[in-house]
Amino acid sequence: MMSFQQSRKSLLNEHLQKLMLTIVIKYLFLSIALLLPLYCSAADAVELTPPVMHALVIGNSNYINKPLINPKQDALLMADTLKQIGFKTTLASDLDRKSFFSTVRTFYNTIPKGSVALVYYAGHGVQIGGANYLIPVDMTLTSERGVELNAFPLKSMIDGFSQTKSIVTIIILDACRNNPFQPKSPSKYRSLEKMGLAKVSTPRGTIIAYSTAPGQLAEDGLGNKNSIYTSSLSDEIKKPGTPIEVILKKVADTVRRKTFEDQQPWYESSLADDFYFIPVDGAQVLSPKASSRFENKKEIHASRGLSIKNKDAEIYAQLNHQDWSQLDYEIQQRVNHITEDELPLLTLRAKKGNLIALTTLGIAYREGFKKVVDVSSGRIYKTNTSNKKSVEMLTRAAKLGFPIAQTELGEMLYTGKYVEKDLSEAKRWFELASNANYPRAKIDLLQLTFMNNPNDPRVIKSFFKNGL
């Protein structure tokens, strides 16, 4: 039978064992707690290491058929810009067919794992049979079949990069310029027979930026040293802390304004995470854990820039008061200075649904293309007016969602000038334009509401608050 002393000793040993076990467990947890931040810090340090960025910049100007002024200069500007922000840059110019293929192949074959790869191309581009081709300088452009056989397929470049271990691939195309299949004539555009480059599928981790939306022409510098697209892009990518997709949208807005809607840059993206050319202090080139995410399959988000159909409603909804004032001024300047030789091109653009062209022609047909002054009386007479064409043009632009055309049409219906007066229809157009934050429409709507409710204090208060 165990004595009291033995029993006490046994209980004490049991207690000591439990105490030691508790201390060991606490020590292990404490060790893990102390080591875990070090481990995480090391992991974060690896993740925060910026990937190496490589760029291939190509500028083809010296074509046999149709030399271009700006591409070589555009390539120099882009190469210099990319070097400034940390890219290891290879510059190539006036590539013939053989050197085009070998230069691109060498570039993507030497891209190290986990890097960022960028290709910039300025020169002739063409879409044939739904495929995009970049044109070497030694091609004799005689037929579409010849392009298919001898040009550089964009798909070949995309397929090559899809086999690399880069975490981000960026392809920038300032292409679609003058048409070498047409008779030689002075041209400011970058295009071939099939205007615009076609939409393509982008492998994960890829973004492809075009200087135009499909079906449009691209300005070849407008007499400046660089194209509007490349100079705008160069300015934007040097601004720190801006994701690439935001940069491309800003470039699109700048180009769209400067070309009066004739050129609308566009892009396709399958990026799963934000990419920054220049991250802010303490941030990464890629958003956290981007590298590991690229190993997983991601849904492709194509055409996240400007959609092809009815893209303008979204764009104009983002304009502020100053933007609208500038656009109003630009349209009125176009109306005031239209010449007869501009009419065919403006009419063609209007038929294709260009909202600026439709609105400009709508106002011009209403106000007249020519003004004749009677010397004896000093009165000004307008000629070449057409109320029918004016209403047709403005109505079409209004139905397509353009607030300036909606307001112009609403004001005509409100005053009963040029058309039969219809206040309810005028109000409808004013409300639609007001929803797009167009200031003139808001004022018109307030005036119309005030006219119908002159003693309502809420209307008066709203007028003085928003009517200026």
Q: What are phi and psi of 268, to 5 degrees?
A: -125, 140
Instruction: Specify the pLDDT at position 8.
Output: 45
Instruction: Specify the pLDDT at position 21.
Output: 54
Sheet containing strand 131-134, edge to edge, reads 125-128, 131-134, 152-153
Q: Which is it for the CA torsion 455, 458, 461, 464, positive or negative?
A: negative
> 267: buried, middle or exposed (CB in 10 Å: 19+, 13-18, 0-12)?
buried
Contact 175, 218 (CB under 8 A): yes
Name every residue whose Cβ is closer than 8 Å to that of residue 453 and which is 6 or more positions away in sequence: 459
Q: Which is it for the CA torsion 459, 462, 467, 468, positive or negative?
A: positive
Contact 207, 166 (CB under 8 A): no
- Alpha helices by DSSP H, listed for 339-456, are 343-351, 355-367, 387-399, 403-415, 423-435, 439-452
Cα–Cα–Cα angle for 196, 272, 242, rounded to 5 degrees: 75
Name every residue whose Cβ is closer than 8 Å to that of residue 173 and which is 6 or more positions away in sequence: 121, 125, 134, 154, 197, 208, 209, 210, 211
Give the start-to-end residue ranges of the domains of the chain. Answer: 50-309, 318-466
- Distance, in Å, from the CA atom of 170 to the CA atom of 206, rounded to the nearest integer, reads 6
Of 436, 417, 421, 411, nearest to 355 by C-alpha is 436
Record the tokens describing residue 324, joined without a space.
């609208």
- Distance, in Å, from the CA atom of 147 to the CA atom of 385, rounded to the nearest integer, reads 46
Please name the residue that has the structure tokens 């005028």.
426
CATH number assigned to the domain covering 318-466: 1.25.40.10
Residue pLDDT tens, the chain, 468 long: 455 445 545 544 565 555 555 544 454 444 444 444 444 444 444 444 668 999 999 999 999 877 888 899 999 999 999 999 999 999 999 999 999 999 999 998 899 988 999 999 999 888 776 678 899 999 876 777 777 788 999 988 988 888 888 889 999 999 864 444 444 433 343 443 334 455 565 677 899 999 986 655 566 555 568 999 999 999 999 999 899 999 999 999 999 888 877 788 888 888 878 899 998 765 667 764 444 444 443 333 333 333 333 455 556 666 777 778 878 877 887 787 777 677 888 888 888 888 888 999 999 998 887 666 667 776 666 667 888 999 999 999 999 989 999 999 999 999 988 889 999 999 999 999 988 888 999 888 888 887 766 565 554 555 555 544
Contact 271, 288 (CB under 8 A): no
Annotation: CATH topology of 50-309: Rossmann fold (3.40.50)
Please name the residue that has the structure tokens 């993507």.
108
The length of the chain in residues reads: 468
Contact 249, 243 (CB under 8 A): no
Q: Provide the Cα torsion 90, 94, 99, 103; round to 10°.
A: 20
